[in-house]
Amino acid sequence: MPLTFPSHAALPLPLKLWRPRWFDGVALTVGAASPDLAYALDGSGLPVFPLSHQWPGLVLFCLPVTLAGALLVRRTAAVAAAHLPRRPAALALRDYGVLGTTRPALAVSVVSALLAAASHLVWDRITEPAPVLDLVSTIGGALVALALAVHVGRHRLLRAWHGDPPARPARPVLFWSVAATGTAVAAGVAAQLPGAFLLHTTGARLLIGLALAVTAAAAAVTLATPRAAPAVATGD
């Protein structure tokens, strides 16, 4: 079982490079991780695993989780990206703010989500029989994912596909304080939940906790930023 993120994203993401208009890069990335997010519910009694790693689970679990996750990414991308470092320049991290302005057709997101989740299942099936394949594919997948990120950043492909990211005011102290606090709380809670001794279970919980912490940080910045007053027309 390769690492949930970023290794699993390495398989479906080249589809976005191949046909940018045909695929939703956010849904590909979230969808590739979606089967493993069910581990966060270990000990809850909910029948989400092994469903998430079975073919019916692509529609019953992975698809709704991916669509919800993609929506969350798009709602927070513009503000969150404004607080990312400018270096390394090759990654062009602030370009990811443009994801907040993209709205792919639902069919594009659905197909992307299903293909990415299916790639996860296939990859797991191949590596399950041999632990050495698990380790090698985790490392290889992470390196490929990094190489893809560098390629996208160096060629400024996000701008080429979607235009310039929207300007957002940065409040780094507020953003990173909320993000760090939220992450620390999530880590503390994860350590107390059932199955905390399982690496894959705690890993999935921390991944979700980090996402929620960044979402909270972006929301805090948005709420703390005064909105510009609308222009008032005046007559002569």
CA 119 to chain centre: 16
| pLDDT tens-digit series, residues 95-106 | 999 999 999 999
pTM of the entire structure? Answer: 0.93
Q: Which residue, among 16, 33, 37, 14, has the nearest Cα to 109 in the 3D structure?
A: 16
Whether 52 and 35 have beta carbons less than 8 Å apart is answered as yes
Percent of the chain at pLDDT > 90 equals 84
2 confidence band (pLDDT: 50, 70, 90): low
Q: Which residue, among 154, 205, 121, 141, has the nearest Cα to 17 in the 3D structure?
A: 154
| Res 236: pLDDT | 43
Alpha carbons 12 and 25: distance in angstroms, whole number: 9
For residues 157-178, average pLDDT: 96
Whether 51 and 38 have beta carbons less than 8 Å apart is answered as yes
Alpha carbons 30 and 37: distance in angstroms, whole number: 10
